[in-house]
A and B are shown apart, each in its own frame.
Chain A
Amino acid sequence: MSKLLANIERVSAGYNGETVLRNISLKIHDHDFIGVIGPNGGGKTTMVKVLLGLLTPYKGKVSQPSGPIRIGYLPQAAQIDRSFPITVQELVESGLQGRRFWRPGPGKAQKKQIAQILHETGLSAYAHRAIGELSGGQLQRTLLGRALIKEPNLLVLDEPNTYVDKTFEGELYHWLQELNKKMAILLVSHDVGTISSMVKTIACVNQELHYHPSNVLSAELLKVYNCPIDVIAHGPVPHRVLGEHRH
């Protein structure tokens, strides 16, 4: 029986009194790999913020029924200030910071952990470089390293394939398949083709949430789920991207 890590129950949420999400529910179990799709402004990132505790819902609640979990988070690259004076190693190390006011520098074990993550993400040679000197893919790898350093139970990724090249995208998806053996993953993406090829289940978010218990979605079902998307053909498999939305 798989463990229920996080439970979003009948949540309504938004900003400045305006409702973006209406009465959504989602259960996340260990080793789940859920793809979150939906139109721009449909509430994908809002749902992530509610799940991470960054946004208090108007109604409903988010709980961790099996006890507190460690959540690793990879934000959208656009949120990151690349001119901030911080090195790759410092950024990865920041994932270890907890509540404590004062923490001495990383101990022996933590240094080993940081070196290991830098090695796994192929960033050992860039450890002392400022993040402003990195390519889009290298920055995403650094942010992934920060998200993974605490060995999370749940990894949340918000549009990880923006601003990165196809080579890194391929590497990332390979990593995610491996990581899913150890943790649950919630992957937000506008690229439904990529989502459906690797995730186990899909959540369509467009103000409401429709949970689809497999990774195969037909155009008819997307209509039923109110997830408006257009068919385009790029990459080896013709797939769909989400259409524009007025919100």
Chain B
Amino acid sequence: MPQFFDLFAYSFFQNAFAASILISLLSALIGTYIVARKNVFISGGITHASFGGIGLAYYLGLNPFLGAAVFAVLTGTSIEWITNKGKMREDSAIAILWSLGMALGIIFVFLTPGYAPNLMSFLFGSILSVGRSDVLLIGGLTLLTALFFLLAYRPIIYTAFDPEFSSINGIKVAFYRYSMAVLVALAIVVSIRAMGIILVLSLFTIPQTTALLYTHSFKRIVALAAIFALSGALIGLYVAYAMNIPSGAAIIFVLTLQYLLLKGIDLLHRQRRRNTAD
């Protein structure tokens, strides 16, 4: 354990620690919105479609995360548009964008001459490779998202819950839903470097599912999810260090273990209450 704390002397670990805190807060806000709207599959589509942007950016010699951001935002807003217009089955649209993004990513990476980027780092991520500029970017987006929730909490929730009633009440439904689609897409992209395309979605859903064991109030889910995400991220970092395993996988493993443990305790409590009632 003392050796673990020695790691705080290194800037890479300070960055990883700061990124863990910021991503936990960001995922608590965005993930609760995703889970409340039952948009987990949509978010999976955004995550995987962003790989197309990574591949294209590599091919054009641009920053891969810029490409991922453009693809993610386009996918998020397109799915929102398809959902609103109802011109196509939503799940089919997601599946098409999901696999198209992955296919484009693979094609562009294959076509990139001379140098084949390390795909594993995008697929599985590494919070320990997060740089100062990444921390600032994640921090900026977390601040923007928190500010948006602080100012427009009610319309965000109302338009997520019942867009028709909100529209009748004069709320600009499209503004809030598209703004949230953009924030969801960007939150996913900035978290990819830390968690990777395959694992990032878990960070936006497992802490919320754990929080749902205790509350059904949106605000309380956000607060509890932030605590669960943060504890999962920090314990995961330690596990990754102690066992010398990839940090993203360790964090997801701890988050899942945390959920199973608390779910087990919850079931035991319920059983005991039932027995007492009998």
Contact = CB atoms under 8 A, between A and B. Distances in A.
Interface in B1-55: 32, 36, 38
Of the four ranges (under 10, 10 to 19, 20 to 34, 35 or more), the interface on chain A belongs to 20 to 34
A154 to B, nearest CB: 11
A101 B155 contact: yes
A33 interface: no
Nearest to B172: A99
Of the four ranges (under 10, 10 to 19, 20 to 34, 35 or more), the interface on chain B belongs to 20 to 34
A80 B162 CA distance: 7
B161 A97 contact: no
Given A75-B164, A75-B165, A79-B164, A90 B171 contact: no
B152 A94 contact: no
A42 B172 CA distance: 30
Given A73-B168, A81-B38, A99-B172, A16 B155 contact: no
Interface in B164-216: 164-172, 212, 215-216
Contact of A94 (B38, B86, B165, B167): B165
B128 interface: no
Contacts of A83: 38
Contacts of B116: none
Contact of B161 (A84, A103, A133): A84
Contact of A97 (B32, B155, B218): B155
A130 B217 contact: yes
A54 B172 contact: no
A97 B155 CA distance: 7
B158 A94 contact: yes
A98 B171 contact: yes
Interface in A161-205: none
A52 B218 CA distance: 28
A39 interface: no
Contacts of B221: 85
A80 to B, nearest CB: 7
Interface in A139-171: 146, 150
Given A16-B87, A97-B155, A81 B167 contact: no
Contacts of A133: 216
B165 A146 contact: yes
B30 to A, nearest CB: 15
Contact of B170 (A73, A98, A128): A98
Interface in B127-179: 151-152, 154-155, 157-158, 160-162, 164-172
A86 interface: yes
A71 B158 CA distance: 17
Q: Sort A-B residue pairs by CB-CB distance and give the 9 closest, nearest first.
A: A130-B216, A99-B170, A85-B218, A102-B151, A94-B158, A85-B216, A84-B161, A52-B168, A98-B170
Interface of A: 15-16, 52-54, 71, 73, 75, 79-81, 83-87, 90-91, 94-95, 97-99, 101-103, 128, 130, 132-133, 146, 150
7 contacts: A15-B86, A53-B168, A73-B168, A80-B162, A98-B171, A99-B171, A132-B216
